[in-house]
Amino acid sequence: MRRFKTLDAVFQALKEHFRPEMAQGVQAVVAVHVEGDHGGSWYLRFANGRMEVLREPPEEPIDVEVRTSEEDYWALLYGEMDPVGAYMRGRLRIKGDLRLLYQLQYLFRLPDTMES
């Protein structure tokens, strides 16, 4: 499995796996806040079958915010932590439209192995 060196690399890789044909009609902004020394905030803006990864908050309202620690983010990314369990234990905090967050998983083509 591909291992990322930075969180920026993770969010840029989302562009490679984005499925615009599945995003028709989706208008949303998702904020991802990762707390820690190498953390930060990323904003995913979906509109007209496109997705942008931004580092500054867009002018549009945020539909859903996800917040976690850097350590937990990496564990979630690599399947070492169950997202539902993390949410139930307060290690993954979500504010906003949970239904939208669930829907967004279908907008990405995620390979079984992510080779570099």
What CATH number is given to the structural domain containing 64?
Answer: 3.30.1050.10
* 95: in domain: yes
- 110, part of any domain: no
In sequence order, what are the residues at sequence separation of 6 or more whose Cβ sits closer than 8 angstroms to the Cβ of residue 40?
7, 33, 34, 55
Cβ atoms of 69 and 36 within 8 Å: the answer is yes
pLDDT for the residue 114: 44
pLDDT score for 69: 97
- Paired tokens of 17: 């796996």
pLDDT at 3: 80
Beta bridge partners, 40, equal: 34
Whether residue 79 is contained in a domain is answered as yes
In a domain, 2, yes or no: no
Q: Report the chain's mean pLDDT, rounded to a whole number.
A: 91
Residue 66 lies in a domain: yes
pTM of the predicted structure, to 2 decimals: 0.88
Question: Is position 111 within any domain?
Answer: no
> What is the span of the domain harbouring residue 30?
7-103
Tens-digit pLDDT profile for residues 23-47: 999 999 999 999 999 999 999 999 9
